[in-house]
């Protein structure tokens, strides 16, 4: 038996773990008290990570699909050579628009993402689709308009806020904030602080709250705009803050004063007195912050919701301060900036062939991909790489994805398991698990103190699996976009890896890329092949962190020094890189001061640009929007987070201690009216399709509302689907018109009792 440290890979928190390992398996998992962020915190999901590492659906060697749909074992060399040849041929015949990349990264697999995205450059394509594109791009779009770039991402200081507003989020189950359950209990037990939850369900977090506004599903924009109108009508906005740090308030004020507050409160089905109470309480607090999640990001008015929740803390001056909302730094660049208004050399940013959709944050929305494959044009997508993703189950409209994948000329899946998507692939390439390789997450989203945790391998990888850096570097070499050797860089990398040696290497790298600018897009693989060989303990995959650490230390010099890293303007970045390599429980990257927030804003004048004309148009449209019809009597919230569901890296259903069916929660009165009891089977029908569900009678949901969890519907060891296949019910067209984010939290459905066949 041995003890070691690592991190959880199930959600964006990536809490530190202390583990015991025996005979190649986890025998005990607990929180790592030395982790600088989580400090020993752990939830019940992380404690069962052995179900990810050790299960029967693991892929052990490359597979090639045969004409009859079966798979045969092939060598890595044969698979990669054929894939490379076919990619080059497709690029030559049809251009870069024929290729799309899906996924890449997963919850804590972001080093691999740095290598996989190079394939887009090799194919001259920008078509990157990922889960962020069906969750967060509406938020990124608003950030770009407010703060100057879509990479300006906000966080919230829940731990120090006097007044906390949770909107469309259930941190008790979904986490998303530091040490969620401990933090929530501290909030609840402090009489000087107030916790408000806005959610159609009386969630676990709502049960702890001081105030719960249980609004009608899909009416968040009405409630939030009514609260904002009250704030400006009563002069509760922070005039001094707005004058010093924002532009466009007069235009925003004009729009908000036109809001019919009482009518909107009624539309949301919340008593006007409660709306006023929360608006006034939030505005009057010495410090207040807002935490949101998919509940308002995957429902009606997705992008507008993101704008309104940001106005709450901006208009009240709760930005750039302790206990408020803030911007933060990034070490790994997990998203980019792609403003659809901008042109490059006179041309607009690359739009898709069929939908003419632009990227947001460098990402395209998965909702549109099936159409981009299925349309009849010469410029359709013909080849797709899927990495660390299972779009057939997790993206909207499973039927459309199945049809589209069958039309592709090449589908390659890189994964650790035989997923539902993998069964449609021409080639399946087995990746090492996240505990069998060097890895890290890019979700270091904290402020003022930010951390980074480079995870070392805990287990040897099965013989015929490969880590993503090796897979994609081999492909780039076989495609001929980078050479097999870099003699100068290899010589520089062999020098003793002290600060000076790293600087010599970086100088040689800069000279090499300047001489060969066509290689610049493949710097990750070049550094991996050269510097990577010289890093200790086989940490080659971490080599690209050296230039990123240098860039981070240059940009945030004082904050990195404040975190205890030593060095001057030339050497601080290499010192930070060595600390990242050496600290097995993670390291504090930087400690900012709250006034640094204004340096993180990317507008020319470093002020927040409050007036967004597109959002004003959507805000005005609320007044003429018709209430939902009666065609479908229930609203399904698809994708509820519960104690025993997680992302799809958990395939073996035996990990669940409760809720094996992924039951549908329904209000007792609705269940009684339909003649349904606990454990009864019903049919849930949307405009797209029908699935069978098991009923759980639960008064935490409103009447007319039902919920189903995500993370089900998988076929483990070739079984029938286990639990609800949610995305058989969803349609790619049921989405936000601006960001194309699916309305998973607002899906109109019918529910019918299954007849008793025996009777």
Q: What is the pLDDT of residues 176-204, one digit of tens each?
A: 999 999 999 999 999 999 999 999 999 99
Q: Please check whether residue 2 is in contact with residue 427, taking contact to mean a CB–CB distance below 8 angstroms.
A: no
- The pLDDT of residue 107 is above 70: no
For residue 755, the model assigns a pLDDT of 80
Q: Pairing relation of β-strands 63-65 and 427-430?
A: antiparallel
**Of the candidates 190, 367, 363, 470, the residue with the CA atom closest to the CA atom of residue 731:** 367
Average pLDDT, the chain: 96
Over residues 728-752, mean pLDDT: 97
- The pLDDT of residue 473 is above 70: yes
Q: How many CB atoms lie within 10 A of CB 643?
A: 16
- The pLDDT of residue 627 is above 60: yes
| CA 613/CA 734 separation, integer angstroms | 24
Q: What are the Cα distances from residue 581, in Å, to 277, 559, 731? A: 50, 19, 45
The token duo for 65 is 């699909």
> What pLDDT digit, counting tens, does each position of 601-618 carry?
999 999 999 999 999 999
What pTM, to 2 d.p., does this model score? 0.97
| CA 577/CA 589 separation, integer angstroms | 10
> What pLDDT digit, counting tens, does each position of 72-100 carry?
999 999 999 999 999 999 999 999 999 99
Over residues 289-307, mean pLDDT: 98
> What pLDDT digit, counting tens, does each position of 439-464 carry?
999 998 899 999 999 999 999 999 89
- The pLDDT of residue 591 is above 80: yes
- The pLDDT of residue 395 is above 60: yes
Please indicate whether residue 623 or residue 349 has the higher confidence score (pLDDT): 623
| CA 522/CA 123 separation, integer angstroms | 12
pLDDT band at 759 (very low <50, low <70, confident <90, very high): very low
Residue for token pair 């676990």: 204
For residue 444, the model assigns a pLDDT of 86
What are phi and psi for residue 2, nearest 5 degrees?
A: -130, 155
The token duo for 565 is 């890293």
From first CA to last CA, the distance across the chain in angstroms is 57
Output the DSSP codes for 269-301: T--HHHHHHHHHHHHHSSSEEEEE-HHHHSSTT
| CA 706/CA 696 separation, integer angstroms | 10
| CA 323/CA 193 separation, integer angstroms | 11
**Of the candidates 412, 425, 469, the residue with the CA atom closest to the CA atom of residue 123:** 412
Q: Measured over all CA atoms, what is the biggest interatomic distance in the chain, rounded to whole angstroms? A: 82
Q: What is the CA radius of gyration of the chain?
A: 26
Q: How many CA atoms lie within 13 A of 163 on its CB side?
A: 17
**Of the candidates 685, 722, 725, 720, the residue with the CA atom closest to the CA atom of residue 706:** 685
> What pLDDT digit, counting tens, does each position of 535-578 carry?
999 999 999 999 999 999 999 999 999 999 999 999 999 999 99
SS3 95: coil
**Of the candidates 26, 48, 17, the residue with the CA atom closest to the CA atom of residue 655:** 48
Facing residues of 22 across strands?
Answer: 25
The token duo for 741 is 């984010």
- The pLDDT of residue 758 is above 60: no
- The pLDDT of residue 120 is above 70: yes
> What pLDDT digit, counting tens, does each position of 131-185 carry?
999 999 999 999 999 999 999 999 999 999 999 999 999 999 999 999 999 999 9
Distant-in-sequence, close-in-space partners of 166: CB < 8 Å, separation ≥ 6: 195, 196, 197, 198, 199, 205, 209, 291, 292
Residue for token pair 């929305």: 365
> What pLDDT digit, counting tens, does each position of 337-381 carry?
999 988 777 677 789 999 999 999 999 999 999 999 999 999 999
Region label for 24, one of left (φ > 0), alpha (ψ between -120 and 50) or beta (otherwise)? left
pLDDT band at 756 (very low <50, low <70, confident <90, very high): low
Number of residues that this document lists for the chain: 759
- The pLDDT of residue 496 is above 80: no
- The pLDDT of residue 757 is above 70: no
Burial of 569 (0-12, 13-18, 19+ CB in 10 A): exposed
- The pLDDT of residue 109 is above 90: no
Over residues 240-250, mean pLDDT: 98
The token duo for 437 is 């390789």
| CA 486/CA 477 separation, integer angstroms | 12
Facing residues of 194 across strands?
Answer: 163
| CA 695/CA 667 separation, integer angstroms | 10
For residue 649, the model assigns a pLDDT of 87
The dihedral sign for the CA sequence 176, 182, 183, 185? positive
**Of the candidates 11, 19, 104, the residue with the CA atom closest to the CA atom of residue 53:** 19
């Amino acid at each position: 038996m041995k003890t070691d440290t690592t991190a959880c890979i199930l959600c964006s928190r990536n809490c530190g773990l202390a583990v015991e390992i025996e005979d190649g398996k986890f025998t005990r998992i607990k929180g790592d008290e030395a982790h600088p962020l989580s400090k020993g915190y752990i939830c019940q999901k992380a404690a069962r990570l052995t179900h990810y590492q050790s299960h029967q659906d693991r892929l052990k060697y490359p597979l090639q699909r045969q004409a009859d749909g079966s798979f045969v074992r092939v060598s890595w060399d044969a698979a990669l050579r054929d894939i490379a040849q076919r990619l080059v041929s497709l690029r030559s015949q049809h251009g870069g628009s024929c290729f799309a990349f899906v996924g890449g990264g997963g919850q804590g697999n972001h080093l691999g993402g740095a290598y996989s995205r190079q394939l887009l450059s090799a194919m001259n394509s920008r078509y990157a689709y990922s889960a962020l594109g069906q969750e967060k791009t509406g938020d990124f779009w608003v950030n770009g308009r407010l703060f100057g770039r879509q990479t300006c991402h906000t966080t919230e200081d829940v731990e120090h806020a006097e007044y906390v507003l949770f909107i469309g989020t259930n941190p008790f189950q979904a986490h998303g904030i530091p040490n969620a359950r401990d933090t929530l209990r501290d909030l609840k037990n402090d009489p000087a602080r107030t916790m408000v939850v806005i959610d159609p369900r009386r969630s676990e977090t709502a049960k702890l709250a001081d105030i719960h506004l249980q609004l009608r599903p899909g009416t968040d924009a009405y409630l939030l705009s009514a609260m904002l109108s009250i704030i400006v009508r009563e002069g509760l906005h922070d005039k001094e803050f707005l004058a010093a740090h924002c532009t466009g308030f007069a235009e925003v004020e004009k729009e908000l004063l036109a809001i019919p507050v009482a009518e909107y409160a009624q539309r949301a089905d919340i008593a006007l007195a409660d709306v006023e109470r929360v608006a006034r309480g939030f505005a009057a607090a010495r410090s207040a912050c807002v935490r949101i999640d998919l509940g308002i990001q995957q429902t009606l008015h997705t992008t507008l919701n993101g704008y309104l929740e940001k106005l709450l803390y901006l208009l009240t001056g709760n930005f750039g301060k302790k206990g408020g909302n803030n911007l933060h730094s990034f070490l790994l660049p997990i998203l980019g900036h792609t403003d659809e208004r901008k042109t490059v050399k006179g041309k607009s940013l690359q739009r898709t062939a069929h939908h003419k959709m632009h990227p947001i944050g460098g990402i395209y929305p998965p909702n549109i991909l099936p159409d981009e494959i299925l349309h009849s044009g010469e410029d359709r997508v013909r080849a797709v790489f899927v990495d660390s993703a299972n779009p057939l189950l997790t993206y909207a409209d499973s039927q459309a994805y199945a049809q589209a994948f069958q039309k592709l000329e090449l589908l390659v899946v890189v994964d650790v398991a035989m997923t539902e998507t993998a069964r449609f692939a021409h080639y399946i390439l087995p990746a090492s698990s996240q505990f069998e390789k060097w890895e890290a997450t890019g979700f270091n989203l904290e402020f003022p103190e930010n951390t980074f945790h480079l995870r070392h391998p805990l287990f040897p990888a099965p013989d015929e699996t490969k880590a993503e850096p090796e897979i994609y570097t081999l492909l780039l070499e076989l495609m001929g976009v980078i050479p097999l050797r870099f003699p100068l860089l290899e010589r520089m990398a062999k020098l003793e890896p002290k600060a000076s040696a790293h600087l010599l290497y970086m100088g040689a790298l800069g000279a090499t890329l300047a001489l060969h600018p066509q290689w610049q897009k493949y710097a990750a693989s070049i550094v991996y092949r050269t510097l990577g060989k010289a890093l200790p303990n086989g940490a080659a995959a971490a080599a690209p962190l050296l230039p990123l650490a240098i860039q981070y230390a240059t940009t945030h010099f004082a904050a990195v020094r404040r975190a205890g890293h030593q060095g001057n303007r030339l050497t601080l970045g290499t010192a930070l890189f060595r600390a990242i390599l050496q600290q097995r429980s993670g390291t504090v990257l930087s400690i900012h001061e709250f006034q640094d927030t204004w340096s993180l804003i990317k507008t020319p004048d470093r002020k927040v640009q409050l007036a967004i004309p597109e959002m004003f148009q959507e805000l005005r449209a609320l007044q003429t929007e018709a209430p939902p019809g009666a065609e479908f009597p229930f609203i399904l919230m698809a994708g509820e987070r519960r104690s025993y569901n997680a992302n799809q890296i958990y395939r073996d259903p035996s990990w669940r201690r409760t809720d094996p069916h992924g039951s549908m929660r329904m209000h007792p009165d609705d269940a009684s009216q339909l003649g349904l009891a606990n454990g009864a089977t019903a049919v849930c029908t949307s405009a797209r399709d029908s699935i069978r569900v098991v009923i759980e009678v639960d008064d935490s949901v409103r009447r007319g509302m039902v919920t189903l969890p995500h993370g089900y519907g998988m076929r483990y060891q070739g079984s029938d689907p286990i639990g609800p296949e949610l995305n058989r019910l969803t349609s790619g067209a049921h989405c936000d018109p601006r960001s194309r984010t699916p309305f998973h939290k607002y899906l109109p459905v019918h529910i019918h009792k299954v007849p008793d066949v025996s009777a």
